[in-house]
Structure 1
């Protein structure tokens, strides 16, 4: 039995049977894992229900049903049946009562209710009948076409509802969710398609012959809000976040357009703004003035308890297979970046990285894998500046001399790399929180106090793809120069203008689209990070056998 089934409510909502008929996997996600996402259809449905969501009227007892006029938003339950429903409206009929269910769309081309809608209204009829009311038919009202479809209620329908409830509870008691529908026309319109990844999962499991359909991000217009102005204050007014300093307004953005709030250095945020952000599922991340990720806060954590439990199990077992594929993916991406962008002869280095890529896939222990990764990093960083244009060599000379240095970075290239890596890490932390993964429990980076090990694991394959690529682009395009850096003792840090320049370049890179090597569709790097985290979750939950890293050719 699923470890989480003890927490499954005793009463099964009629709406969940609607989801079960539509897709058992959707039912499992929403009822067992309590995962939810809105889309245009769910918002439209909520608008359609606005009239009947407000309770109204009085429901007389069965023996006085002749007093019934009309009741809205009536809650009825039966513990023997294990069912509960909130009926949109109940009308008086000639021989009893009539449950009326409101739907935003239209009926089938044949003028019949959709199977999902019929199942939901049948549950309502069964519950009313069990409460002693006579019900000989129900009505499904479709708002788009303004049609009332009459649904007869027979004894056979009652048996069908009982069988449906038994089947739904059997699925709910499974350890893993049902597999996705294969090439179904239902999937693109589903609000959870971005969480479920039906085509991607089927492609990795080799269950589908057709190529995956492109995913559209649930909130494509959402972007992080970066506040780098020291002494700034972030508040909320109406539905907008307002950034001020000394009573001067610096920024004013709609709350619904904010994916993350990122605060650098001495920046304050009001408790009301925090509350509103968390209500919208927006994490808040704090950075040091120099760009180190210091911590984050979110609202209610993910209810996907089974995933966190499995994540702990995978961590305890070592997670070597996942770690090997991550590092192999990183080495392959480093090799590709050098091969594409180096201005010198790096054929021997590319060949050496190819051998290390193969060795990483076959590593038999974490120490062996770390040794391979360390060797690959040393070779790669030794050739990093061959990708920098000669005209920018004055910024790369320190890196050529000292190699990769971190705390503090001792030259402009190291400074840019550290800043870009911190930005990448915060995005992966935010994605992990959204998926339901614990950023601290990894498979490669050993857990230490305050270190987001899993986020660091997932960042490996993206370092060359996103962060290193941003740094090389900034240097070669002349977007940063010596005046964008400050030397303090042995360390080098970015100026305020330099940080803003890096932030703009980093966001541009995330918005850049690439053909996904596994799924074949065009997708932004921003969305790729989300997909990879969900693949990781599917591997940990046992739905996919192997982690497949994101690599480019």
Structure 2
């Protein structure tokens, strides 16, 4: 087959139809097969898990490709050039796109690379595989091809020797072996990982460090998503589209005009309207939209299609139905929550020297030890409840500023005092972030290991949220009170409960955003990263535990 087009993913082709037909044949992308010689793990993530992660290097390459393809046919220096020629090999069961097919006396493929001229065997294999596919359709042997390096504006000639052709065939066999086994190749954790778009998914240095195979990892490369959130809670406001910009309007007044590229997440509170063109734009750009009530209840999320990583979800379901694995994970979630609660009390009591807090800290230490060895889910649930009650029994003592309201214990649905109103609101925003993190990784957010599966409850997001409740949500509330950011005028009483009003919600948004963007030193790896990145990191570690890359889940605990 020879035609113009692009290749994405794996194409299944039916050999024949009717009763007794053979299984569909998988045609593999040539570029992905060649990637095995550079990084087998990259091949696995791209082909098995359907990873589409991108970074600045890939985006630059795509832009260069678009500029090349503006003209499909070109005569240059007495050579005929055809661009983006799709080829396939029935014998090797490969599909690919030849960047440029030139003919100057004889046909030859040209592969474009964005960097400087270099000798990369995987590039040679990719070019040779394209040539072998072309040979099937042209009915003639191809002797050589070229790799053009945009960074140095130079070509490198590649001869299609018998040795290179044999390497192509052995690489294809290796690719199919990885697909059939389903096993994740080990990480490389060397210079090839620097600048890789899959680094935040793969976590090569972290995996090797946790296995005791390497020193501590370096600071992770920042992602393309800086975590910018657009909060809209002006009741009656509407979000409209203007090209690639989002307009927040109220009747005929424009409240905000924001480029889509500056928005990574949208949160709508209460009666805010959003137009269909905006919804389509956000879905196309992969930008999730969360919905909260004015009282802080999480209503749901609008997000792009379900992550294609069904392999991870199968592992998640398997662990859920294994009582031992399920209890092991639940113990770690509870241990992380209680440990961080205890740390919060210790931090504040360095200045308070409160004997009641001291006593609570000692009792919580016993609950943490007991939780680590709990042999039954019911016992673990009881220990989590006792530890939480102990924590909230003295939580009000952490408030250092005189306020006209008091905290006398946890209450909700509805919250009956300002502190509980803020706690509930922050928990909803935290849960929204953790739900986005588990969905991004590829989990089913509704099937957890500690929280029971109930209709509509994002149990896994709640599981991972436990260790972050005290150090993110509770910390935001205490900071807002103790630093005088919030006052009694920021609340309203209605329907038998206490709720943040418009000005109060805005203050809590700012405080919460400051906390989720705050840099913290990772307790295991020693590098610094914002809390919002830690949410995703913990979700990815959980995935690697479920897929047997790591032995156990380690909760994120602070000192």
Please indicate the TM-score interval, normalised by the length of the shorter structure. over 0.9
- Match for residue 62 of structure 1? none
What does the per-residue CA deviation read over 1:421-473, in whole Å, with 9 as the maximum and x for residues that have no partner? Answer: 00100011111111111111100110111111001101000000100000000
Alignment equivalent of 1:224, drawn from 216, 229, 238: 229
Which residue of 1 is the match for residue 268 of structure 2?
Answer: 263
Structure 1 pair 506–448 and aligned structure 2 pair: CA distance change class (3 A) = same
Q: 2:112 maps to which residue?
A: 102
1:522-541 paired onto structure 2 within 5 Å: 522-541=528-547
Matched, 1:495 2:498: no
Give the alignment's TM-score, normalised by structure 2.
0.92
Query: Which residue, out of 248, 253, 258, partners 1:248?
Result: 253
Secondary structure in structure 1 of the residue aligned to 2:31? helix
Aligned-partner Cα distance in 2 for 1:8–1:223: 43
Which moves more between the two structures, 260-269 or 214-223?
Answer: 214-223
- Determine if the alignment matches structure 1 residue 375 to structure 2 residue 375: no
Can you give the 5+ residue segments of structure 1 that lack an aligned partner in the other structure? 60-66
Change (3 A) 1:97 1:434: same
Check conservation: 1:54, 1:73, Cα contact below 8 A: no
In 1, are the aligned partners of 2:109 and 2:145 still within 8 Å (CA)? yes
Once the two structures are superposed, what CA deviation does each residue of 1:11-45 show, in whole Å capped at 9, x if it has no partner?
11111023222210110000111111111100111
Compute the displacement of 1:541 (Å): 2.0
Secondary structure of residue in 1 paired with 2:184: coil
**Post-superposition shift, 1:207?**
2.2
Cα distance, 1:8–1:170 mapped onto 2, change above 3 Å? farther
Deviation string 1:222-251 (CA, Å, 9 cap, x unpaired) is 311111000011111111111111121111
Which of 385, 400, 407 is the aligned partner of 2:413?
A: 407
Aligned residues: 531
Aligned to 2:195: 189
1:345-399 CA distance string (max 9 Å, x none): 322211111111111111112111100000000100001011111423x33x2x2
The residue aligned with 1:146 is 153
Is 1:169 paired with 2:176? yes
Which residue is 2:15 aligned to?
none
> 1:256, CA displacement in angstroms?
1.8
Q: Kindly tell me: are residues 9 and 293 of structure 1, through their superposed partners in 2, closer, same or farther at Cα, counting changes over 3 Å?
A: farther
What is aligned with 1:41? Answer: 57
Q: Which residue in 1 is equivalent to 2:6? A: none
**Shift in CA distance, 390/508, structure 1 to aligned 2, threshold 3 Å:** closer
1:190-240: per-residue Cα shift (whole Å, max 9, x none)? 0011111111122222222x2112113322433111110000111111111
CA distance in 2, matches of 1:254, 1:273: 12
Alignment correspondent of 2:432: 426
* 1:7-86 equivalences in 2 (<5 Å): 10-54=26-70, 56-57=72-73, 69-86=80-97
Match of 2:459 in 1: 453
Structure 1 residue 134 displacement after superposition: 2.8
Q: Structure 1 residue 127 and structure 2 residue 133: aligned? A: yes
Over residues 483-534 of structure 1, what are the superposed CA-to-partner deviations in whole Å (9 max), with x where a residue is unaligned?
Answer: 1111125310011000000000000001111110011111111110110011
Distance 1:5 1:310 in 2: 25
Distance 1:300 1:133, change over 3 A: farther
User: Could you say what secondary structure the match of 2:194 adopts?
Assistant: helix
Per the alignment, residue 470 of structure 2 pairs with 464
Task: Provide the alpha-carbon RMSD of the alignment.
Answer: 1.9
For 1:255-404, list aligned pairs within 5 A: 255-318=260-323, 319-342=326-349, 343=352, 344-345=354-355, 346-392=357-403, 394-395=404-405, 397=406, 399-400=407-408, 403-404=409-410
Q: CA deviation at 1:130?
A: 2.7
Post-superposition CA distance 1:99-119 (Å, at most 9, x none): 1001100122xxxx3222112
The 3-state SS of whatever aligns with 2:72 is: coil
User: Structure 2 CA distance, aligned partners of 1:427 and 1:123?
Assistant: 44
Other structure's SS at 1:80 match = coil
Deviates more, 1:261-270 or 1:337-346: 337-346
1:398-430 Cα offsets, whole Å, 9 max, x none, are: x22xx1001000111111100000010001111
Name segments (4+ residues, structure 1) moved above 3 Å: 4-9, 51-55
Q: 1:537 to 1:55 in 2, by over 3 A?
A: farther
TM-score calculated relative to the size of structure 1? 0.93
C-alpha distance in structure 1 between counterparts of 2:174 and 2:136, whole Å: 20
